Chains A and B, each alone.
Chain A
Amino acid sequence: MSINKNILIFLLTAIGLIVLPHIENLPPSVTGYFYLLLSWRFLGVWKPQWLPSKLMLLLLTVIGIAILYGLHEGIFGRDAGTRLFVTALGLKLLEIKSERDLYLIVFLAFIVATSLFLYQQSIFMAAYILVVCCVLLGTLVCINSNRSQTWQSLKTASEIVAQAIPMTIVIFILFPRVEAPKWMYFNDKHQARTGLSDNMEPGAISNLAMSDELVFRVQFTGAIPPSAQRYWRGPVLTHTDGKRWTQNRNGLSQKIDQPTFTGNAYQYTLLMEPQDKNWVFALDLPAEVAAPLRRNSHYQLVTSANPDKRTEYHITSYPTYNTGTITKDEYQEATQLPGPASANVTQLVQRLHGFDRSPDIFINQLLNHFKTEDFYYTLTPPLMQENPIEQFLFESHRGFCEHYATAFVYLMRVAHIPARVVTGYQGGELNQIGNFLDIKQAYAHAWAEVWLDQRGWVRVDPTAAIAPERIEQNINIDQQIARGIISFTPNTALAAVDWLKNARQLWGNVDYQWQRWVINYDNKNQSQFLSSLGISDLKTMIYWMADIIGVITAVLCWLLLRNPSKTVDPAVLAYQRFCKKLAKNGLIKKPGEGAKDFAFRAKRQLPEQATGIEHITQLFIKLHYGKQHGKNDLQQLNRMVAAFKGKR
């Protein structure tokens, strides 16, 4: 094999690095298979005789196909495609015969690198891929330069990548983004999306609080409701075993009274992002709905359209409503308890007048209890395994919205007031330019609903008692926490880790900008951003792209190609003047002749000038080839050349 060992080691290292992050995305059989082949190939660098024979290679291919087939994924789609390319890459590694094979491997590696972005889009991943790309391109430089120093090749490749970056950014900004037609979507299985589920355990919503993923967007035809009214209704959880809250499936089908609506209505268009569940999160409380939407007995909207596709719905909601009477089933369902309440709980309900006063008073007492007692609102409450409600109420006093909502509902039920947990989203980020609300996973919320005589189901948000900012303001809660606007921990602890907090904030900001400007730079963002620069249509976009690329190319040309043949060494220029003077005497330096040989020849022909020739030559050699020379040497050389008289 004629391929340089260094190149192989270089390439194999790059390949190993590029597949490394896929370990968490791919089944162990595929990564195991791949790294086995890679190690085999690595051994083959030093022991070529150990490389598999043709028959063995065929066998390995069959094994690879068997592994892929065993995963029952076909060859299309993200997971299946990635597995296919990783397997093909592994097999191709064992069959390196010519330079062409190396290129094929590098190309496959670039495909695998791209597939990594389909799983993760963090800054770290981008930086990692950039570095690995430099190594891959370095391999190509190595092949085409026949240099043994791989380090030098890596440097050249990095230079090329660095030169390409400005152009990349320009194309990235100006390349028209068009959403792929629907038939091009692959139905990827196991593409788990985060989001609310039909049951709730402690910690379920605080997991979502970190996700910046968009759930839906709402554009109002008229006024936008104030943030205190932005409750987007999702699944209603009525049944509990003391820890886990679930939807009561039987209750969903029963007949209920039509609510009566009063006050002003909100009309809006809701654009759901692709979801796993067929829920549509309407503003509390939706009124008329048209197909494919349907309102279930919990006043939650469900759709019969495919939730996996982005879909638009037109909905009308009224913030003031009366749901009327409660059915028997509803009452039963809304007062269900996992067992008799403990003495602690009964005592608390007693103390807050749960048994002897009206529900209104009890509700206020309880909310006041949350406000005045030492309750903290935190994303990372202590783990409550055994009896989360009691643990939260009497021990930790730390919880997220789901803790407050469930504890509230539980206490209501102990006091025989029908109550249930409502999950959904709360708030929404107003997009000033488009005048629409972005509702992200981070806004996932849980609140309570109690049934009161004459008023029907009434929303109570116990979290509001502890963290009113969440209700009043229209800001992402986790960012508020990150910025320290909402602080749930004692200040003394914060002071000690102040610099850490600052760093985290800075990083949070960088990450936010990255998400916003790089990951989510879609056709909407692009047209918004470009129209703010005065670029409105496709034609102007392309003109601008061509123009800017032209300018960048011109700059690069100037940087790369200026004065390619000019000799910069002034010593050489001086020596050339000296040679010209000698040429007048018929002494012409031959192309292959060294300065010393030429001087020897010149001295023989011009003995009277011997010392001058000798001095000039020595000085030139010192300046041009020597490592150390003084500042005056060049001046002296110039003087001597000027003084040198060629003609006899």
Chain B
Amino acid sequence: MSSLTLKERFSLSRFSSGEKATDEPITLNQRRIFILPTDRGLGFVILLALLLLIAFVYNNNLAYLLVFLLASIFFITILHSYRSLSGLVLRSGQSKPVFVGQAAGFNIHIDNSTSKDRLQLKINLLQATETISLSAHSQTQITLHSATYKRGWQEAGTLTISSTYPLGLFRAWSPLRFNLNVLVYPKPAAAEIPFPESHASQSEQGVTSKGNDDFFGLQSYQPGDAIKHIHWKSYAKGLGVFSKQYDGESSSQIWLDYIQTPGHGIEERLSQLCRWLIDAEQAGINYGFSIPGLKLEPANGQHHYQKCLEALALFETL
């Protein structure tokens, strides 16, 4: 682990939001772990004061002994608190893009290579909190979900792993920051607006006026046909491989152009584009994609699809 500059070391934000984000695995150690009493711990201190008062007023040595025992336990619990987190290794995992409104899942690997069981670790990320227990020499992966409201990169922010083990009087926590981002695509529009008509200028073969993808018939499979359109029923019957043909597809490709997309404002248009992208990809239509600053030739398939969605997610008006 890289060392900290003096300024970083004394920065207060280390307590709450952690150090600089990293891709490296983080081992929890004295630099990362913070410990403070919980409200129950403060209650315990009040209890100690009360018991000390009783011992004092009645000059009772066994009462003193009990107070000192509890105070020592309170003190020693700090070490146990530290021990509940120290030595754990956390790593960030890959996360999948989502559409706005879907929960973004951030993956975290936690590795306990020590010979000590870790009980009731609380892992908090944004609003999500997970509680796990890790036995000695074991590892686990957890996914923390967080709601999405905006397209673009959603940062995981600070991940906090904490534990109140063993007595709940102290909370040891470690704020960690990973380069952990989820790409959030725009929310697909709900309204079913037909695909835009392709302009002659953009079309090479001319387009039928029908933008709908009505089922047209079956024809024998040609290499290049979308795998989604294979008619599995006939294949299963042993009749050979057929592709489903849709009206408007055989000859068609469409252009999804930001400029020509209906909608008020940028987000609405992007939503509509997103809807069309999904539908077009599902339908297996070749689609071209154009937004200011980016133009993609008509194509089809996951790679193309993701590239388009990514462009939508990260689109910024100039």
Whether A160 pairs with B167 at a CB distance below 8 angstroms is yes
Q: Does A557 contact B (CB under 8 A)?
A: yes
Q: Does A167 contact B (CB under 8 A)?
A: yes
For B44, B64, B77, the residue with the greatest tally of chain A CB atoms inside 10 Å of its CB is B64
* Minimal Cβ-Cβ distance residue in B for A525: B61
Whether A180 pairs with B59 at a CB distance below 8 angstroms is yes
The contact of B167 among A78, A100, A141, A591, by CB within 8 Å, is A141
CB-CB under 8 A from A140, the residues of chain B are 166-169
Q: Does A201 contact B (CB under 8 A)?
A: no
| A–B pairs, 10, beta carbons within 8 Å | A133-B66, A144-B168, A146-B131, A147-B119, A156-B166, A164-B76, A177-B64, A564-B87, A565-B113, A567-B114
The contact of B54 among A115, A129, A518, A522, by CB within 8 Å, is A115
A-B contact count (CB 8 A): 168
Q: Does B165 contact A (CB under 8 A)?
A: yes
Whether B51 pairs with A110 at a CB distance below 8 angstroms is yes
Whether A145 pairs with B44 at a CB distance below 8 angstroms is no
Q: Does B14 contact A (CB under 8 A)?
A: no
Q: Does A271 contact B (CB under 8 A)?
A: no
Q: Which of B133-141, B180-188, B270-278, B293-301 contacts A (4 or more CB under 8 A)?
A: B133-141
Name A79-128 residues within 8 Å CB distance of B: 99-100, 103-104, 107, 110-111, 113-115, 117-118, 121, 125-126
For B67, B75, B167, the residue with the greatest tally of chain A CB atoms inside 10 Å of its CB is B167
- The CA-CA distance from A161 to B71 in the complex, in Å, is 11
Q: Does B164 contact A (CB under 8 A)?
A: yes
Whether A103 pairs with B119 at a CB distance below 8 angstroms is no
Whether A560 pairs with B56 at a CB distance below 8 angstroms is no
Whether B43 pairs with A103 at a CB distance below 8 angstroms is yes
CB-CB under 8 A from A110, the residues of chain B are 47, 51, 66, 70
Q: Does A519 contact B (CB under 8 A)?
A: yes
B234, chain A: closest CB distance, angstroms: 37
- Residues of B at under 8 Å CB distance from A? 27, 40, 43-44, 47, 50-51, 54-73, 75-77, 79-80, 82-83, 86-87, 89, 91, 109, 111, 113-116, 119-120, 131, 133, 137, 139, 141, 164-169
- The CA-CA distance from A522 to B115 in the complex, in Å, is 45
CB-CB under 8 A from A178, the residues of chain B are 56
**Given known A103-B40, A557-B79, A561-B83, contact A519–B119 (CB-CB < 8 A):** no
* Minimal Cβ-Cβ distance residue in B for A166: B72
CB-CB under 8 A from B131, the residues of chain A are 146
Q: Does A568 contact B (CB under 8 A)?
A: yes
The contact of B60 among A117, A184, A557, A572, by CB within 8 Å, is A117
**Given known A141-B166, A171-B72, A564-B87, contact A111–B61 (CB-CB < 8 A):** no
Whether B86 pairs with A564 at a CB distance below 8 angstroms is yes
The contact of B113 among A104, A113, A567, by CB within 8 Å, is A567
Whether B79 pairs with A556 at a CB distance below 8 angstroms is yes
CB-CB under 8 A from B166, the residues of chain A are 140-141, 144-145, 156-157, 160
Having A141-B166, A175-B64, A175-B68, one finds 6 other A-B pairs with CB under 8 Å, namely A100-B40, A121-B61, A144-B120, A145-B133, A165-B72, A521-B61
- The CA-CA distance from A168 to B74 in the complex, in Å, is 11
**Given known A144-B164, A144-B166, A168-B65, contact A556–B120 (CB-CB < 8 A):** no
Name A236-257 residues within 8 Å CB distance of B: none
For A126, A184, A564, A592, the residue with the greatest tally of chain B CB atoms inside 10 Å of its CB is A564
CB-CB under 8 A from B65, the residues of chain A are 126, 168, 172, 518
Q: Does A394 contact B (CB under 8 A)?
A: no
- The CA-CA distance from A190 to B72 in the complex, in Å, is 35
The contact of A161 among B73, B82, B87, B119, by CB within 8 Å, is B73
- The CA-CA distance from A519 to B62 in the complex, in Å, is 7
CB-CB under 8 A from B50, the residues of chain A are 111
